[in-house]
Structures are given as C-alpha cells and as structure tokens.
Amino acid sequence: MSAVFHMPTAARALALAAGPGERVVAFGNGAPTDQAHFLADVAGVAETLPDAPSAILLCEDRYRFLVAFCAVAVRGQINLLPPSRTPQAIDDVLAQHPGSYCIADAALSPAPPRLHVLPAVLPCGDGASLRVDAGALAMIGFTSGSTGAPKPNPKTWGSLHRSTAQNLEALRHLWPSGGDARIVATVPPQHMYGMELSILLPLLCDAAVHRGRPFFPDDVARALSDGDAPCLLVTTPVHLRALVESGVAMPPLAGVVTATAPLAEALAAAAEARFGCEVRELFGSTETCVIAQRRTAQEALWHAYPGVRLMPQPDGTVVQAPHLPAPVTLADIVELHGDDRFALCGRQADLLEIAGKRASLGDLTKRLLAVPGVTDGVVLQLDACPLTGVRRIAALAVAPGLEEKRILDALRHSVDAVFLPRKLRIVDALPRNDTGKLPRAALLRLLG
C-alpha cells in the first residue's frame, strides 16, 4: 500500500489524488472506476460548473459526490457541507454564503435555489495534472446542531491531507496486508466523519469506496459483497446495533469503524463476535476532525493520535493537533491518563447537580436504555422555566407495548428520585438525523 500523498514543506501545490492512474477509486453498481477515469470525470464536470464562490453538495451517489467535491475545488470554489439535506438547513447555509449554488445527481423536490444537476453520463476532460493549493480553503463543514445552531468550520487542503494521514495510520492494520482497502459506508459524505472516512481516504490513500449508501441490513450485505476483498464498514452505533440484531448474514469484514455517538462496550463486543473482526471507535468533531481511537470491546480509555495534545479546562478541553491551524476548544470534558490516553467524562452541559447530588445526561440515558422493552431513548434537560428558572429533566423513549409508568418504575431502581424525568413521552421513533444524532430542536418539538 502506498502512503498518503504528503505535502512537501516548501511546496504549496498538491496532487488532487494520490497513487497511480490504475488504482481503483470506486466500486459497486457496475464496473470499478480507476483513478485516471475519476480524474477525467473531475476535469469534465469542473468545466460545466457555474461561476460562483461556493457550492453545496447534495449528491446521493458517493462517487458522484467525490467527483463534484473535487470539481468544485478545481474551479477554485469552496465546498459547503450543511448539517443535513433538509430545505431549512440548505436555506440557512445559502443565507450565510450568498451567490452559492447547489449540486445534486438528480432533480430535487422542492428544488433549492440555483440547482446544478449532474448529467447521467459525466463529461470527461484532461485530468492528468489536476492540483490544488495546500493553503486553499477546500470546504466548510457545519456542526450537526445537536447542541444549538450549526456552526461553520473551514478546512484547508493542507489540513485535510494531514488529518487523513493520521486516520490511515490508525486504521491501516485493519486492511489486507499489501492490498488496497475497500470501504462501504452507511454515513452521509456531508458529515465530517463520513467525509474523512469515505471521501478523503479514497482520494488520498490506496482505498476505494462503494458508490452507494446502504441503509437496511440487506443493503449493507449486498454492498459488502461487491468488494473483491473483505471491506471496511464505516458506520454508526445506531446502524451497527441494527446489523447485529438483524440476523442477516454478512460477508467477511476487514473491520468496522464507528463514530458520531457513544458506542456501548456490550454492543462493540457483540459486533466483534458476530462479524469476526475488530471494531474501532473514533472520537472527533467537525471542529477538530478525528483525533483519537479505541477498541471499545477491550478498553475504556481513548488513544489520542500522535501529536494531539489535550488540555482539560473547567468547561471543556483545548485541543492542539498538527492538522489544526490554531487550538480548538471542545465542550467535552476529559481525564488524562498519561501522555496519549484519556477518558471521556461527558460535557459540562450534560452534567447535572440537583439538591447537592450529581449525575450526567449520558449516564441517565444509558439507564433508560437498560430498561427491558426500551429500544431507543434519550434523557435531556429542558430550557429554564421563565418563572422559576428551574430546568426540568425530560425523556423520550421508543418502547412498544410499554407505558410511561412502567418505565419510570424501572428507573427508580437505578436512578435517584431527584433525577427522574418529570416528563416522559413514548414515541414511535426518535428524530435521529443521517448520522444517528438527535438535534435538540427536534427533541423539544416531540416533547411539546
């Protein structure tokens, strides 16, 4: 396997993609696509794009997303990655970046403003010498909005090269020795985790990605079967649980990578036993990219990537890393164990103190999920009451056949009375987004 294309210190120009022209970049849904063909597609699409400062990528086909992402860069434009494909999210990003347009691989209804639809057959051009500037802004990713309004986070090509090299070093032991990786991803490429693992790895490493975005267990099994070697499955805890519990037979896997939400040790162990491979959990954020990893079935502590330095603060953690132009402060609270290992202790906003007693929303959610019959759930703290200033605890649960009283009675065995939800509502499903996260605004609407 050849290494990630590393940026020479004195140079500013970077090759758009790493490796030889014959290496496979994408597979599935037809014949594999090699890098020479991919670069020709990029050059051809770049010539057809509108003149604009930036573009919002809405493509569903992962290969076409990859082509569009690079074509935008070749035109000297900035890729905008909204937190979701909802009309509201798109409108919000367009309002912040006037003059931008949208790229999709099919007509959308309702159609966003200035929609550019890629043709069924992509035009080809001369992609032999496509390069980008290391200091150029490649993309702006937006946080999910799970804790408030989505926030923009710009990334340069140089920083993306360095962070991708870190991911390769952390995961390359999962890939076939001496061979290329085959990646199947259930996460959207617009999300930073999906971008890093299913777009940047195939672009900058000896890896190929499946064109689709399988969702149901049968779809995932078929996508994995399209690889000419055991594939690396890039997914989330929500999807992983569905796969483990489905009973659907999966082809041999090279490994499983998961992120976007905490992975329970029991689920990690069950997945390793079910699929006969290692499950790696990644920790990061839109602000920092991935900065740590662990094998959750066997260890509780996280291993920070080389060069990453964590500095605990009273209300979060300052992160320094080789790929970050400046320190970034995260809301996550960590406890250091040596130079490169740490424990995650939740977020300051998740910590509760009532009547001199302490708890965390994360732990309360785990206890809710442990109630027999509860298949999904979340505990949250409501906004302060305008009259009393009190912030009540509430919960949503997916629990077919159960009543609220039965769930509360079960919680009383493991939760102090002061932390019991004052409002508990059983719902058909939680409003999870494409990566399994729960936007706070959607939860509050369900609670009423």
Domain CATH code at residue 25: 3.40.50.12780
CATH number at residue 373: 3.30.300.30
Rounded Cα distance between 208 and 102, Å, is: 26
State how many domains the chain has.
Answer: 2
Same domain for 161 and 33, yes or no, is: yes
Under a CB-based contact definition with an 8 Å cutoff, are residues 43 and 70 in contact? no
Token pair of 141 as six digits? 């990713």
Domain end residue (candidates: 299, 330, 363): 299
Using alpha carbons only, how large is the chain's radius of gyration in Å? 22
> How many CB atoms within 10 Å of residue 172?
16
Residue 319 lies in a domain: no
Q: How far apart are CA 223 and CA 200, in angstroms?
A: 20
In a domain, 286, yes or no: yes
Are residues 43 and 144 both part of a single domain?
yes
Structure tokens at 86: 């909802």
pLDDT tens per residue, the chain (448 residues)? 333 333 334 348 899 999 999 999 999 988 899 999 999 999 999 999 999 999 999 999 999 999 999 999 999 999 999 887 788 888 989 999 999 999 999 988 888 889 999 999 999 999 888 999 999 999 999 876 555 567 889 999 999 999 999 999 999 999 877 778 999 999 999 889 999 999 999 999 989 999 999 999 999 999 999 998 999 999 999 899 999 999 899 999 999 999 988 898 989 999 999 999 999 999 999 999 999 999 999 999 999 999 999 999 988 999 999 999 999 999 888 999 988 999 998 777 777 877 667 788 888 988 898 899 998 999 998 887 776 667 889 999 999 989 999 999 999 988 888 889 999 999 999 998 777 788 888 899 998 8
Is the Cβ–Cβ distance between 288 and 311 less than 8 Å? Answer: no
Q: Measuring CA to CA, which residue among 1, 116, 20 is closest to residue 67?
A: 116
Indicate the SS3 state at residue 33. Answer: strand
Q: Which of 234, 264, 299 is the last residue of a domain?
A: 299
User: What pTM was computed for the model?
Assistant: 0.84
- Residue 184 maps to a domain: yes
147 & 225 share domain: yes
Whether residues 239 and 377 fall in one domain: no
Which structural domain, as residue segments, surrounds residue 121?
13-299
